[in-house]
Structure 1
Amino acid sequence: MNLIVAVDENWAIGYNNELLVSIPDDMKFFRETTTGKVVIMGRKTLESFPGGRPLKNRVNIVITKKEDYEVDGAVVVHSVEEAVKEASKYDENDVFVIGGGSIYKAMLPYCNTAYVTYINQAYSADTFIPNLDKEVDWVLADESDENTYFDIEYFFRTYKRK
């Protein structure tokens, strides 16, 4: 299983259930990497999308504690274990955890690759994920050259589980 995320220098991912910043090349990378694949997310992440609708051209697995929660175009599960079981129906290389914070933390032990857009600045944030540079089970396997979007410097990084 994979994880895909954009983080700032403090490994923050969001504020008030929104992304910290929108970088067109990051959005393009996300779209190209996950289209035709399986995405796992929490309910709040789904509800942050335009119209609260599942992502097109993907299998959407939504984790929620709400028992009566239903979404057209998504598979709704009620635990990490159920999400892992549902995801096991697919090739693990085609499964991407896409947020939010608690889902990233809960699903991290099941992931072997993390695609991280690392933004070289700090934002006001209320949602963070574990810093993979400090996780003993993870190693930085690849990093792009520096990219810029206006005054924002960022890198595309790939981390692998040791």
Structure 2
Amino acid sequence: MKAIVAVNRKWSIGKDGKLLYSLPGDMRFFRETTRNKTVIMGRKTLDSFPEGKPLKNRVNIVISRGNDDRDVIWVRTPADAVKASSDYADTFLIGGSCIYEQLIDFCDEAYVTMIEDNFEGDSFFPNLDERENWELSEKSDAFCENGLTYRFCKYKNNHPKEL
């Protein structure tokens, strides 16, 4: 399992239930990386998509105590999500912050778009620079869009947990 996220220098990902940034290059990277893959998310992340619809061309697994008729696989716990995803190749955690925190140490890699900004958000991704077993393994050249500089980074977990 892998994680994919866009963060700023404070490892913040959102504020008031919305993403902090909308960068076309990052969105393109997300689409290309997760297309035809499995994604795991919380219900609030699903609700944040246009019309609350699941992502197209992906298997969508949603962790929630409730469910409805949206075309997703509903599970109750993060452990259930990992078990459900084992039937599929290439699974990505896509948020929100609670899901990242609960499952990040089960991931073997994290694709992190690092945005050079210090905006104060209210939801965060775990700081992999300070987390045991994680190391930065790749870093792209800088890109600039919408007045922001960012890089695509890949982190590796040297000892991912297993269920």
Question: Which range, TM-score by smaller chain?
Answer: over 0.9
1:9-44 CA-partner distances (Å, limit 9, x unpaired): 000000111110100000000000001000000000
What is the aligned-residue identity percentage? Answer: 48
1:139 and 2:129 correspond? no
Which aligned segments of 4 or more residues in structure 1 are displaced greater than 3 angstroms? none
Deviations along 1:55-99, one digit per CA (max 9) or x if unpaired, are: 000000000122xx12421000000111011011112xx100000
| 1:135–1:74 distance in 2 versus 1, CA, 3 Å | same
Instruction: Give the match's secondary structure for 2:41.
Output: strand
**Structure 2, unpaired ranges of 5+:** 159-163
**Cα RMSD (Å):** 0.8
One-letter code aligned to 2:99: I
Which residue, out of 56, 80, 83, partners 1:82? 80
Which has the larger displacement, 148-157 or 26-35? 148-157
CA distance in 2 between counterparts of 1:74 and 1:116 reads: 25
Which structure 1 segments of 5+ residues have no match? none
How do residues 33-44 of structure 1 correspond to structure 2 at under 5 angstroms? 33-44=33-44
- Alignment coverage as a number of residue pairs: 158
Larger deviation, residues 50-59 vs 127-136: 127-136
Q: Is contact 2:105–2:157 with CA below 8 Å preserved after alignment?
A: no
After TM superposition, the score normalised by the length of structure 2 is 0.94
Q: Match of 2:87, as an amino acid?
A: K
1:85-124 map, 5 Å? 85-91=83-89, 94-124=90-120
Offset, 1:135: 1.0
* 1:61 aligned counterpart, secondary structure: strand
Cα shift at 1:136: 2.0
The residue identity in structure 2 corresponding to 1:22 is S
* Structure 2: distance between partners of 1:7 and 1:117: 6
